[in-house]
Amino acid sequence: MPATMKDVAKEAGVALGTVSKVINNIPVSEEYKIKVEEAIKKLGYEVDIYARGMKKQKTDTIALIIPNLFVPFFAHFAYYLEYELSKHNYKLLLCNSDGNAEKEVRYINMAKQNKVDGIVGITYSDIDKDISNNCKFVSIDRHFSNPDIPYVASDNYKGGTIAAQKLIDIGCKSVAFIRTGSNVYGETYKRKIGFIDACKENSINYKVLDLVEPFNNLEKACSEFLEENICDGKLLIDGIFFSTDLLALRVKKIIESYGFSIPNDVSIIGYDGIKIVPDLDYIVSSVHQPVDLMAKKCVEIIISLINKQTVPKVNYLPVDFVDGGTTK
């Protein structure tokens, strides 16, 4: 039978309240602290974190909802979020939702029932009606109808203009923007708007391929788009900006399958600034999101919400261009 706090108190020869103070890091005399710690070690006592959370109405746990842990950007964000939470003695509960609204709602209900203290969410599902003021929630790249829900994002509009300007600066004359994504409007859509505005401002010809999920065949749609822009064996587009690095990487293979060279025939730029491992190069030239700073800002906000403090509702973080070898 597992040891209890009463067993620890008896073994240490102290009051039950003294054991509670030691466990909860409340100051006691050094003599009593040593006795309790030795008793805990001898008896193999383990704190019942769930019961402790119920008593305090605080679990010291934050849930993270992400669409797909296989996507490097989401995995990197989860890493940095856990790192920042640990500085404040919080734990991370990870929900890999696969874009399933029902799974996301279950985690939101956990927050409403005080089973987690709050949620950081990257979600593109139709869960607007499930987000309420009873749930301490920080959104990534997503606006909710509830104006009190704070969100954190990189400066997506600026990122779009940076990508367009880079292609212009290296001599591109006819460019394109290719996107895959949800039909739920969010900050990421501004990548497209920024790109188009910069092209218009510089009188550069541009085309757009906007693929709204779910769609059946990415490779087919992108191949057809490329074929529409090939004349006499020459690719008429000499620069492409993609909504994500992974999309850029996938379409890069398609472009090369037609015999075109990157960046000699066409320069490509993604968005995220992904490195598979820190010591390697970026997988493509990209608009880099400061994922570490985004995670840090989310932690600052969620802890402020837990402490019932006022937080800024809109939080933008700067982006910059990084060279991954796919631009001239």
Tell me what the pLDDT averaged over the chain comes to: 90
The DSSP secondary structure of 221-261, one letter per residue, reads HHHHHHHTTEETTEES--EEEESSHHHHHHHHHHHHHTT--
| Residue 269 parent element (H or E) | strand 267-272
Give the mean pLDDT of 146-161: 94
What is the model's pLDDT at position 261?
96
Say how far apart CA 55 and CA 153 lie, in whole Å. 35
Residue 55 has pLDDT above 70, yes or no: no
What is the model's pLDDT at position 105?
84
Residue 104 has pLDDT above 90, yes or no: no
What is the model's pLDDT at position 48?
65
Percent of the chain with pLDDT over 90: 62
Give the mean pLDDT of 99-103: 83
Report the range of poorest mean pLDDT among 18-32, 49-63, 314-328. Answer: 49-63
Residue 68 has pLDDT above 80, yes or no: yes
Say how far apart CA 29 and CA 251 lie, in whole Å. 65
Taken in order of first residue, the domains within the chain and their CATH numbers are: 5-47 (1.10.260.40), 59-153+291-317 (3.40.50.2300), 156-290 (3.40.50.2300)
What is the model's pLDDT at position 306?
92
| pLDDT tens, residue by residue, 208-254 | 999 987 777 889 999 999 999 999 999 999 999 999 999 999 999 99
pLDDT band at 133 (very low <50, low <70, confident <90, very high): low
Say how far apart CA 77 and CA 143 lie, in whole Å. 19
Nearest to 76 by CA among 315, 320, 319, 276: 276
Say how far apart CA 62 and CA 300 lie, in whole Å. 12
**List of residues 6+ apart from 184 with CB closer than 8 A:** 124, 125, 126, 142
DSSP conformation class of 181: E
| pLDDT tens, residue by residue, 183-193 | 777 899 999 99
pTM for the predicted model, two decimal places = 0.82
Nearest to 152 by CA among 80, 99, 50, 235: 80
Residue 305 has pLDDT above 60, yes or no: yes
Say how far apart CA 263 and CA 120 lie, in whole Å. 38
